[in-house]
Amino acid sequence: MPVTNCICIKYGTRYGPEYPNRLYAGLRRQSSSDIRLFCMADDRAGLRPEIEVLPLQDEPFFPAMFAEMERRGWKSPFRKVSLFRPGLIPDLEGPLLVFDIDVVIVGDVAPMASFAPGKIAMRREWHSSQKRPSLGHGSVEKIEPHLHGWLYDDVARDPIAALNSGYGSEQSYTSLNAAARGELAHFPDEWVASFKYDCRPPRPLNLFLTPRRPPDAKVICFHGRPKMEEAVEGYRGGLLHSTRPAPWLKDAWMGGEA
């Protein structure tokens, strides 16, 4: 059976080990292929033994980069750039699916791994601005490190220039620079759904109707509020942001952990 290679990053205390554990469970439950999940982490405590833990990278260019980001009020962590480092996973064969830790798997991701061979694939950004333009949303990315290591090399060579080219945003850096080289492809929009935009009913129906599960979605991302645990129980955020409980989301996110 073919293998789908996946990776996430966990550091700090905001997200516990249950997040990568549930990500792995969802991938395994939904996938038509075998799953190999890597987790780049600063603490492996509580992670399932099936997850292959990589040490969180402490890149030599981080101090200069983070100092510049703090000076300019930019918040993007830029940790994903380490995933483009050549040789990070010595025995990696084939593409690598990169997942934010706060996503829920609701469909088979194997087609995402085989999508647009040789290119970086991302979903189109829902909202882009002149201040921080972006051609792709970073919640799910398909990369091929042996082909796209230049994204790491460019940051290592001149981290401040790399920051500026991405307007301080990691997904902007990746999508804009990949597009400039003709190496960006967009997943079908329906494959990656936003809970806020694609699941929550339009206002004011969000106060009365259960959030919907998009039928063709493979991944649901949770940018902003509510997060998964809030959406499962129902979220109170006033007229604009409140949602009813979503039982299907509880099954998708928390089911099959054992």
Q: What is the pLDDT of residues 60-69, one digit of tens each?
A: 999 999 999 9
Identify residue 2 by its one-letter amino acid code: P
Read off the tokens for 132.
Answer: 């921080």
State the pLDDT at residue 150: 97
Report residue 128's pLDDT band, with 50, 70 and 90 as the boundaries: confident
- Please list, in sequence order, all residues whose beta carbon lies within 8 angstroms of the beta carbon of residue 87, skipping any fewer than 6 positions away: none
State the pLDDT at residue 258: 41
Q: pTM above the 0.85 mark?
A: yes
Q: Could you tell me the domains of the chain?
A: 3-101+108-187 (3.90.550.10), 191-254 (no CATH)
Task: State the residue for tokens 């494959």.
Answer: 191
DSSP-derived secondary structure letter, 131: S
In order of 21, 133, 204, 250, 253, the CA distances from 256 in angstroms are 10, 38, 34, 11, 9
Residue 123 CA to residue 140 CA, distance in Å, equals 7
CB atoms closer than 10 angstroms to residue 141: 26
Compute the C-alpha angle 257/5/126, nearest 5°: 85
Q: pLDDT above 90 covers what percent of the chain?
A: 84
